[in-house]
Structure 1
Amino acid sequence: MAVERQSLLSRSPRECVARLCGCLVPALVPPLHVAVLYYAWRQFARSVDKHYCTCSCWDTVFKGTYESGVASYKHMYFNATKNSMKIWVTTVICIISLYECVRYLVNLLLERHMRLSMLTLFLSSIYAHYYSWWAYINYWNDDFYSQWNHQMFFTITELASTVLVLQLADSRKFISTRKALGISGIALLHVLAGGWDQFVMNVFRGAGHVHQVVRDLGLMVPDLLHVVLPLLEVRSRMRVVDKELAKELILILIFIAVGFLICSQL
């Protein structure tokens, strides 16, 4: 009994640190994003007179009898619509997911069971997931859906890759060649699709604006890391190409080819 109590006490500080980090990351990422935008695009901003600013397209539902008609200045407006509900539910799911992922990884780090290559991959993928969340918020908020299917393809495959990364983040777990190739294959698909889609045009040919170049680099560099690092983890097994490995390589190549064809049609 005394041993169990001591074990619980020794785990408590680690769990507190893990929970704190889990809260800080989702709390700080959006403000940092807005701060960067404010710094980069401040020449496009305009001063708002809070005393005379009004909004005539707000349904005022959440204010009830306190305010109706043309509304005065608010720091945040939201209408009582289905899209507002979708934005809220998606945001809650993303925040909880990010919190749990960070808490899990911090616990592994404090317990010294972290596989650093997988931690690197997870950290590098935060921007891609945040970009997806922000894209869907804008799609629903603007009622603009022409890029929906294209973005959904990248989101689903990115989530599948991150699930594998989180599974392999624990150094006590064996890295199978199949899972390593799965991560690398998805990333290679992203590299090909992203390069075909806009990376070459925006970055190499210089057709993109600064924010587009930064965005494309922020998506491409993590994908390249996802291609290389898993293969380095299993490089000793990759030197001997047996029948099982050959079959897995063929399956990954088929997946990349089919995925690229699907993505190019979206």
Structure 2
Amino acid sequence: MVLQETFILKNGVKIPKIGLGTWQIPNGKEAYNSVKWALEVGYRHIDTAMAYGNEESVGRAIKDSGIPREEIFVTTKLPAEKKGYDIAHECFKKSLEALGLDYIDLYLIHAPWPWDRIGLDCTEGNIESWKAFEEIYDSGKAKAIGISNFEPKHIRPILEMCKHVPMVNQIRFHIGERQEETVEFCAKHDILITAYSPLATGRILNRKEIVDMANKYKVTAAQLCIRYCLQKDTVVIPKSTKKERIISNANVDFIIDDEDMKVLDRL
């Protein structure tokens, strides 16, 4: 089963290939139930962020599941607008407290710039944040550290100063948007890609070529899109608040053949 499959990060840490994304899921019943259902059906990777405002419910669902902590991989993130050494340490402690955990499996810089000022040069702030990340990693409080939404121009300054190369880059990745330059750059530096919005927030699910190919494999369009990302050797974190879709999104134990992958590549 894909839910039991993992990639191995450069430091030897195993990361489940499929996780539950929790972006835009409100704190409270919705976030709690989504995580609860995911864990019940076999997910062992939960992706959240301080910016999502739902760490408390995510952590409570993890605790209430009764599943041993070491069996669940938890990702959270430093808010995009928080840049600097001290603020990175401070935010990490707040995330630990909100989640009610002793450690985080993967801690990411959420973006290279604030969301309301996309493109702003925050190189110095990212470097200072990364210094804190390395200390957090060396302390054992984070089992792996990485980045999100970083392009090569944002990654290079970190590579020039770092003791620990980022282990993951979480980026928007789906059929029709593959960010090939970033993916190739990360591959050269053994930085694993996590694909968020694998369904393009639903925008590609009605595209005729995708629907027709899904019918060929007797799967849903969403399952085809998720499987495509897996076959591109990315971790995939589809989001849903509906139990049946959480189950369906992980039911991707089929193979898209090479010719059909090429067709999807061209879309």
Give the TM-score normalised by the residue count of structure 1.
Answer: 0.25
| Greater strand fraction, Structure 1 or Structure 2 | 2
Larger radius of gyration: 1
Give the TM-score normalised by the residue count of structure 2.
Answer: 0.25
